[in-house]
């Protein structure tokens, strides 16, 4: 087993620092006694899903399939390759997990691989598969970097049908011959644009090459820049496209606004916004890891219960922060963009961008952490003089202007920010190429 420093020069990205914490993954949720599945006639069974799966989602409280589920489920059941893009929180995981479970039918070899850019997303997908596959004998396992190899190796050797993985760690296990991709007949490349951002493209290509050519490939990405289109045309055969909503828009369930403020008053305004807002749980985004640590420490001083999530935190700290936030033990999570994509945390009532995101596209992902699956949410963004052009780029990207608000009674220091003419004249920044963006956030 390789445990030395990360390799360089072989085209693979440096590995995250490993600690010995072994994340347990999720435990299969199989019923203790056999359940009699009734004959189902629901909107889900009409999509072609079998009684057991239609029953499972009914038990989870889903009454109507979401638009991406309506489009993708029949295509995937037919065995077609699919390129899917959908707004965040639209039920994408079930859109691929349910038909995959039906196609795999029963326990056999490792036949389905799902690649995810981050450990958190891989864990989320693993958990979803466990839930949706509860009335089957399918086995689901997960591998991801930054933790010990022991339990993952044991799990892989024990055998499974579905594997959720991050690319680097999967390649390590393949080198160690702990598993093989010889029998993969369904490959899911999820959050591909994020994988590209994180420098995973060479790893992803290596993994795709190791899968049999005769397979079904599902490809999910929020955007399709040329590099990704190229990867898709190489990895997929005759794909059907499934596109839901305008790619650039925020979900309709989110109301969002900008709060102009001078840089020196940002923290005070954040503090007042938290005081004045009736929030359940708040996700606060900062641009840098140091910035996130600093804001978290200041919020703790002010008496808030706070967790921090960014790429300098080890796996144990990240899992603990996320679990405490999900369970309501802490009310505020301060994060960098590592937490912006895909994470499905129920009940985030508010997202606050303490720093305006550098890329307009990240704005949509950040605020998409609230207002998920039919719930409503609010997103606030603090905009300083330095952020005016980024703020305009966001408006251009989403194709709408965002309301500027002031907090009543806040002792604002006057700035040109409050002069609408200056704001109107600001030229939006041209967006930075995705390939030039830093991977460690």
Q: Which is nearer to ligand AMP, 373 or 439 (CB)?
A: 373
The one-character DSSP state at 240 is E
Q: Closest distance between ligand AMP and the C-beta of residue 369, in Å?
A: 10
Task: Examine residue 281 and tell whether it contacts ligand AMP (CB under 6 A).
Answer: no
Which of 65, 199, 239, 357 lies at the binding interface for ligand AMP (CB under 6 A)?
65
Task: Examine residue 91 and tell whether it contacts ligand AMP (CB under 6 A).
Answer: yes
Selected range binding ligand AMP among 92-100, 347-355, 394-402, 406-414, rule: CB under 6 A: 92-100
Q: Is 112 exposed, middle or buried (0-12, 13-18, 19+ CB in 10 A)?
A: buried
Task: Examine residue 56 and tell whether it contacts ligand AMP (CB under 6 A).
Answer: no
225: which 2 tokens?
């820049």
Applying CB under 6 A, what is the total number of residues that bind ligand AMP?
Answer: 14
Q: Closest distance between ligand AMP and the C-beta of residue 327, in Å?
A: 15
If we measure between CA atoms, which residue out of 7, 338, 25 comes closest to residue 172? Answer: 7
Which of 56, 71, 85, 93 lies at the binding interface for ligand AMP (CB under 6 A)?
93
DSSP string, 98-120: HHHHHHH-S--S--EEEE-SSHH
Q: Closest distance between ligand AMP and the C-beta of residue 344, in Å?
A: 4
Distance, in Å, from the CA atom of 384 to the CA atom of 387, rounded to the nearest integer, reads: 5
Is the C-alpha dihedral spanning 41, 42, 46, 48 positive or negative?
negative
366: which 2 tokens?
């950040």
Q: Closest distance between ligand AMP and the C-beta of residue 166, in Å?
A: 17
Which of 12, 92, 139, 392 lies at the binding interface for ligand AMP (CB under 6 A)?
92
Selected range binding ligand AMP among 84-92, 229-237, 313-321, 352-360, rule: CB under 6 A: 84-92
Task: Determine the residue with CB nearest ligand AMP.
Answer: 91
Q: Which is nearer to ligand AMP, 296 or 348 (CB)?
A: 348
Please report which residue ranges of 236-288 form alpha helices under DSSP H.
266-276
Q: Closest distance between ligand AMP and the C-beta of residue 66, in Å?
A: 5
If we measure between CA atoms, which residue out of 387, 394, 389, 386 comes closest to residue 361? Answer: 394
Neighbours of 368 (CB within 10 A): 25
Give the x/- contact pattern for ligand AMP in 372-411, rule: CB under 6 A.
xx--------------------------------------
Task: Examine residue 344 and tell whether it contacts ligand AMP (CB under 6 A).
Answer: yes
The structure tokens 């347990």 sit at 24
Neighbours of 439 (CB within 10 A): 11
Phi, psi of 233 (to 5 degrees): -70, -25
The binding site for ligand AMP (CB under 6 A) comprises 62, 64-66, 69, 89-94, 344, 372-373
């Amino acid at each position: 087993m390789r445990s030395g420093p990360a390799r360089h020069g072989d085209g693979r990205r440096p590995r995250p620092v490993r600690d010995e914490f072994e994340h347990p993954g999720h435990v299969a949720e199989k019923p203790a006694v056999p359940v009699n599945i009734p004959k189902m006639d629901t909107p889900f069974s009409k999509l072609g899903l079998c009684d057991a799966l239609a029953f499972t989602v009914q038990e989870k409280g889903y009454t109507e399939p979401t638009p991406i589920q309506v489009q993708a489920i029949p295509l995937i059941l037919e065995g077609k390759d699919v390129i899917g893009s959908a707004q965040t929180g639209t039920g994408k995981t079930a859109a691929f997990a349910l038909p995959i479970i039906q196609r795999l039918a029963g326990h056999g070899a490792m036949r389905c691989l799902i690649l995810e850019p981050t450990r958190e997303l891989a864990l989320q997908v693993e958990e979803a598969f466990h839930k949706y596959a509860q009335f089957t004998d399918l086995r689901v396992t997960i591998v991801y970097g930054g933790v010990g190899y022991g339990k993952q190796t044991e799990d892989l050797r024990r055998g499974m049908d579905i594997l959720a993985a991050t690319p680097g760690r999967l390649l390590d296990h393949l080198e160690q011959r702990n598993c093989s991709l010889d029998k993969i007949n369904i490959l899911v490349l999820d959050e591909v644009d994020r994988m590209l951002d994180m420098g995973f493209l060479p790893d992803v290509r290596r993994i795709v090459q190791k899968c049999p050519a005769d397979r079904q490939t599902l490809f999910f990405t929020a955007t399709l820049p040329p590099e990704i289109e190229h990867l898709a045309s190489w990895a997929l055969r005759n794909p059907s496209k499934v596109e839901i909503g305008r790619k650039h828009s925020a979900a309709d369930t989110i109301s969002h606004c900008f709060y102009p403020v001078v840089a020196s008053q940002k923290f005070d305004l954040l503090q007042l916004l938290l005081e004045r807002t009736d929030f359940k749980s708040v996700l606060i985004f900062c641009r840098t890891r140091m910035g996130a640590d600093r804001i978290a420490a200041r919020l703790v001083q002010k008496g808030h219960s706070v967790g921090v999530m960014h790429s300098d935190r080890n796996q144990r700290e990240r899992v603990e922060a996320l679990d405490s936030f999900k369970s309501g033990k802490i009310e505020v999570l301060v994060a960098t963009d590592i937490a912006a994509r895909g994470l499905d945390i129920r009940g985030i009532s508010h997202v606050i961008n303490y720093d305006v995101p550098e890329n307009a596209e990240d704005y949509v992902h950040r605020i998409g952490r609230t207002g998920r699956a039919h719930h409503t949410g609010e997103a606030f963004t603090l905009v300083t003089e330095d952020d005016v052009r980024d703020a305009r780029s966001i408006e251009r990207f989403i194709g709408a202007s965002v309301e500027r608000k002031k907090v009543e009674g806040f002792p604002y220091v006057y700035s040109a920010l409050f002069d609408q003419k200056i704001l109107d004249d600001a030229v939006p920044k041209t967006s930075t190429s995705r390939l030039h963006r830093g991977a460690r956030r």
